[in-house]
């Protein structure tokens, strides 16, 4: 049940505003929102008893400075009751991630983690990196902290277990072994160099290793090497020796491998000067599968307990939690959080605060990494702050920009055209804010950079004007950086004037006569172009911004072009996915032959039902 935010007296703010809601509340569990005079959400919280929690905010004294500021700015509230406190906790974390309130702890970098997939939809399973929904048939192992951690592990696993990594389409088309076989990283099942039974044994060994049973795998390989040596099969014995050596290297590269912790995430929090770093170590199958650092927004000065609670709730909102979550700092509702995560996962999840032993040593390691990572970040942020201040002074901006947006286009004679936007601020490049724009205007002359820039900026700022007209979310830029000279800057200024956005500073970076020598010219509306002195840190900073935008635009363009090269008319047929597409191409030889095929021929393809065959036939024959 929702309770409207207009129950309190209009124009009343602070604790008096909060007190006005008490008569409408009861002791139900639920979620509350505190809003300022403009309707922006200041804070989202949960409560076992809404009336009791809100009454604590109605007191004029006894609050921390952070909470006192929040209450002072509150002009209205909204409430949503739930059946249980667990539901309230889950709803609270969802709303925090959606609304991003100023006074809440917010996990800003929340990407999915890669896994290793042993695919089971082929007689000779493929081993590969996988990210996203687990839809493909097979066994998934992870999560790993990064793509780099997965790639290193896959590289070593190929040396040890010789499993194929090629796509099924490449596998089917091979007539001789690829380079990976020559360098002893694949057993070449594609050309029959290994039987299905022997390959299956390699797959089982690899899965045992990924499940943490490394001792058993090493023992089996050692016995096989002894037998090969006794039978005078020295070449096979040498190959087994190399595999044992590679397996040992894998174990050494993984670093700390706890003996008594089979499946856990170790979370260490370090707080310094109002900034927080959270280190997460992933322990699976008694192996360390890497770590990652996070820098959550601390909600204008939240305590360690509140930061840890907010981080855990938001971190596992879209991830499967392990059986144990080992924390450096506790919080009041740990039992409730464990109950909510257990309910979500469908199995028991424990939240632990170890004081001694191996788990405490793991926490100490996470804390040490968090402390060192935060020190590095604070140093980098200080440097970035000096650069932004220097940028403001060089271009008479008034205040250092908090959000710089840099735009660039990429195409080949107008084909596969894309626009790109990168974002930088006090904390460096904000890659989660990068955006790509597929150029949609078919009337543009091929290679019309002005027209492409106009489309990109029009789409970008029309959306901002629609979604955030009050500029309260922090997604509006303070400065636009354009790759181009006076003409480009003038064209962009005209576009912004048409949109009614005339108060955002803009700088054009022209290549100049001698770009390699750093002779860029900078252009601004209504002012003469000028150059910064060679060796000026601000010049290097602007060059980095421009080059990053160019890199992102080129990468986006290449990805689009590569996708277009691999496209076939079959991609547009409803119901035809990757597997059926391969079956059709293998049967008919080409997409053109599929388009010409009769209905009876389509029905003869393995995996193509009569209904799908009719759909394919109708698609190509215009019925």
Q: What is the pLDDT of residue 467?
A: 86
Q: Tell me: pLDDT of 214 over 70.
A: no
Q: Give the residue from 428, 474, 423 showing the smallest Cα distance to 99.
A: 474
Q: Is 200 exposed, middle or buried (0-12, 13-18, 19+ CB in 10 A)?
A: middle
Q: Tell me: pLDDT of 535 over 60.
A: yes
- Written as six digits, the tokens of 68 are 């006192």
The pLDDT-based confidence of 431 (bands split at 50, 70, 90) is confident
* Percent of the chain whose pLDDT exceeds 90: 37
Sequence-separated (6 or more) residues with CB below 8 Å from residue 597:
588, 617
Q: What is the pLDDT of residue 314?
A: 92
Q: Tell me: pLDDT of 152 over 90.
A: no
Q: What is the pLDDT of residue 169?
A: 78
Q: Tell me: pLDDT of 216 over 70.
A: no
Q: What is the pLDDT of residue 361?
A: 93
Q: What is the pLDDT of residue 303?
A: 92
The pLDDT-based confidence of 31 (bands split at 50, 70, 90) is very high
Q: For residue 209, how many C-alpha atoms fall within 13 Å in the half-sphere facing its CB? A: 29
Packing angle of the helix pair 234-253, 147-161 (nearest 10 deg):
160
Q: How far apart are the first and last CA of the chain?
A: 51
What is the pLDDT of the chain when averaged over all its residues? 85
Q: What is the pLDDT of residue 80?
A: 94
Which residue has better confidence, 221 or 272?
272
Q: Tell me: pLDDT of 267 over 80.
A: yes
Q: What is the pLDDT of residue 336?
A: 94
The pLDDT-based confidence of 6 (bands split at 50, 70, 90) is very low
Choice among 28-37, 66-75, 613-622 with the minimum mean pLDDT = 613-622
Cα three-residue angle 65-68-71, rounded to 5 degrees: 155
pLDDT tens digits along 174-198: 888 989 988 888 999 999 999 999 8
The per-residue DSSP string of 355-409 comes to -SHHHHHHHHHHHHHHHHHHHHHHHHHHHHHHHHHHHHHHTT-SS--S-EEEEEE
Question: If you search the block for the tokens 């922006």, which residue do you land on?
Answer: 40
* Percent of the chain whose pLDDT exceeds 70: 91
Range from 483-492, 539-548, 599-608 that averages highest in pLDDT = 539-548
Q: Tell me: pLDDT of 257 over 70.
A: no
- Find out whether 231 and 224 touch, Cβ atoms under 8 Å: no
Average pLDDT over residues 305-331: 93
Q: Tell me: pLDDT of 583 over 60.
A: yes
Average pLDDT over residues 396-414: 86
Q: Tell me: pLDDT of 4 over 50.
A: no
Q: What is the pLDDT of residue 175?
A: 85
Q: Tell me: pLDDT of 364 over 90.
A: yes
Q: Tell me: pLDDT of 455 over 60.
A: yes
Q: What is the pLDDT of residue 52?
A: 94
pTM, to two decimals: 0.73
Average pLDDT over residues 71-79: 94
Average pLDDT over residues 472-483: 87
- Find out whether 44 and 33 touch, Cβ atoms under 8 Å: yes
Average pLDDT over residues 202-220: 76
Question: If you search the block for the tokens 């955006």, which residue do you land on?
Answer: 435
Domains and CATH numbers, the chain: 2-103 (3.40.1440.10), 115-253 (no CATH), 263-375 (3.30.420), 404-564 (3.30.420.340), 569-621 (1.10.150.20)
* Residue 536 DSSP one-character state: -
The pLDDT-based confidence of 21 (bands split at 50, 70, 90) is very high
Which residue has better confidence, 162 or 578?
162
pLDDT tens digits along 130-140: 988 888 889 99
Average pLDDT over residues 106-119: 84
Question: If you search the block for the tokens 């049940």, which residue do you land on?
Answer: 1
pLDDT tens digits along 52-63: 999 999 998 889
The pLDDT-based confidence of 564 (bands split at 50, 70, 90) is low
Q: Tell me: pLDDT of 252 over 60.
A: no
Cα three-residue angle 541-543-548, rounded to 5 degrees: 100
């Amino acid at each position: 049940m929702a309770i409207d935010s207009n129950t309190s007296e209009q124009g009343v703010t602070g604790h008096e505003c909060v007190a006005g809601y008490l008569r409408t509340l009861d002791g139900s569990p639920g979620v509350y929102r505190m809003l300022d005079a403009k309707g922006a959400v200041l804070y989202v919280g949960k409560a076992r008893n809404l009336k009791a929690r809100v009454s604590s905010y109605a007191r004029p004294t006894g609050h921390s400075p952070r909470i006192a500021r929040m209450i002072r700015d509150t002009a209205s509230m909204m409430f949503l009751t739930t059946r249980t406190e667990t539901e309230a906790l889950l709803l609270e974390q969802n709303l925090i991630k959606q609304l991003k309130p100023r006074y809440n702890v917010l996990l800003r970098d929340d990407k999915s983690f890669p896994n290793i997939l042993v695919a089971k939809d082929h007689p000779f399973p493929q081993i590969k990196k996988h990210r996203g929904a687990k839809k493909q048939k097979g066994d998934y192992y992870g999560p790993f902290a990064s793509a780099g951690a997965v790639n290193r592990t896959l590289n070593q696993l190929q040396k040890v277990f010789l499993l194929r990594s090629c796509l099924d389409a490449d596998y089917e088309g091979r007539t001789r072994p690829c380079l990976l076989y020559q360098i002893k990283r694949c057993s070449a099942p594609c050309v029959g160099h290994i039987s299905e039974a022997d390959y299956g044994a390699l797959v089982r060994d690899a899965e045992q290793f990924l499940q943490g049973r490394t001792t058993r795998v090493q023992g089996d390989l050692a016995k096989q090497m002894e037998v090969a040596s006794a039978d005078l099969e020295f070449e096979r014995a040498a190959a087994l020796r190399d595999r044992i050596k590679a397996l040992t290297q894998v174990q050494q590269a993984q670093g700390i491998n706890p003996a008594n912790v089979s499946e856990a995430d170790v979370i260490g929090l370090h707080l310094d000067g109002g900034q927080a770093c959270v280190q997460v170590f992933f322990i699976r199958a008694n192996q360390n599968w890497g770590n990652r650092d996070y820098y959550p927004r601390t909600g204008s000065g939240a305590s360690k307990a509140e930061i840890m609670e907010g981080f855990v709730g938001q971190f596992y909102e879209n991830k499967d939690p392990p059986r144990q979550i080992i924390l450096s700092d506790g919080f009041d509702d740990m039992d409730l959080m464990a109950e909510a995560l257990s309910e979500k996962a469908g199995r028991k999840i424990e939240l632990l605060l170890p004081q001694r032993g191996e788990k405490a040593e793991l926490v100490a390691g996470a804390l040490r990494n968090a402390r060192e990572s935060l020190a590095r970040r604070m140093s980098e942020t200080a440097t970035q702050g000096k650069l932004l201040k220097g940028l403001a002074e060089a271009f008479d901006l008034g205040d250092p920009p908090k959000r710089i947006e840099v735009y660039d286009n990429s195409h080949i004679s107008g084909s596969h055209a894309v626009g790109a936007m990168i974002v930088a601020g006090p904390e460096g490049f904000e890659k989660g804010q990068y955006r790509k724009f597929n150029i949609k205007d078919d009337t543009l002359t091929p290679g019309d950079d002005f027209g492409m820039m106009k489309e990109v900026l029009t789409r970008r700022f029309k959306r901002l004007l629609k979604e955030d007209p009050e500029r309260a979310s922090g997604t509006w830029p303070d400065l636009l950086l354009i790759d181009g000279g006076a003409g480009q800057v003038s064209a962009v200024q005209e576009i912004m004037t048409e949109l009614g956005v005339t108060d955002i500073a803009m700088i054009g970076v022209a290549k100049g006569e001698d770009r390699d020598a750093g002779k860029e010219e900078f252009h601004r509306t209504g002012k003469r172009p000028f150059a910064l002195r060679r060796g000026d840190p601000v010049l290097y900073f602007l060059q980095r911004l421009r080059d990053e935008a160019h890199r992102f635009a080129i990468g986006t363009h290449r990805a689009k072009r590569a996708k277009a090269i691999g496209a076939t008319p079959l991609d547009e047929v409803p119901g035809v996915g990757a597997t059926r597409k391969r079956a059709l191409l293998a049967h008919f030889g080409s997409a053109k032959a599929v388009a010409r095929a009769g209905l009876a021929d389509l029905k003869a393809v393995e995996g193509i039902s009569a209904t799908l065959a009719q759909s394919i036939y109708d698609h190509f024959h215009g019925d």
